[in-house]
């Protein structure tokens, strides 16, 4: 897979928005939204809920800053962020199935609607970094 793919101005803008979102969310994990994020940690996670929130916040800040400033390996970053969104999806399901209010998601309808936004985030990460194009091109080269 080609790791450095050329992206459009629209993809660059979308990646910058996503990177900023990740830095803000990660900062929230470490500070003002720490308790709210703990509500999303499923009981099966082997770490303490607070430790999980802190570690995921550090990862989010790292990925966010990388999206904003790292020019190389964007496709790899997109794949990593897409995998991260998949990995945290059980937390969103946990919040829905346990009827936990956090982040203004105070009804089951709101919590359910959020579940459908996660695939959008995965697609956004893959598209804005050029990962989709890189995967497609590598697949064509192998064929």
Element (H or E) spanning 24, and its range?
Answer: helix 9-30
Residues 73-107 pLDDT 10s: 899 999 999 999 999 999 999 999 999 998 889 99
With beta carbons less than 8 A apart as the criterion, state whether 136 and 127 touch.
Answer: no
Residues 119-131 pLDDT 10s: 999 999 999 999 9
pLDDT at 103: 87
Q: Is 70 helix (H, G, I), strand (E, B) or coil?
A: coil
CA–CA gap between residue 72 and residue 55 (Å, rounded): 24
With beta carbons less than 8 A apart as the criterion, state whether 28 and 40 touch.
Answer: no
Residues 52-78 pLDDT 10s: 999 999 999 999 999 999 988 899 999
């Amino acid at each position: 897979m080609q790791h450095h793919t050329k992206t459009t101005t629209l993809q660059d803008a979308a990646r910058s928005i996503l990177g900023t979102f990740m830095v803000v969310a990660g900062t929230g994990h470490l500070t003002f939204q720490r308790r709210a994020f703990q509500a999303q940690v499923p009981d099966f996670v082997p770490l303490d809920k607070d430790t999980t929130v802190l570690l995921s916040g550090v990862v989010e800040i790292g990925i966010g800053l990388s999206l904003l400033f790292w020019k190389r390996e964007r496709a790899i970053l997109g794949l990593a962020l897409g995998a991260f969104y998949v990995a945290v999806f059980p937390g969103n399901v946990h919040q829905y199935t346990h009827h936990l209010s956090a982040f203004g998601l105070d009804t089951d309808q709101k919590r359910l609607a959020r579940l459908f936004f996660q695939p959008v985030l995965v697609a956004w990460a893959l598209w804005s970094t050029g990962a989709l194009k890189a995967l497609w091109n590598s697949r064509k080269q192998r064929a």
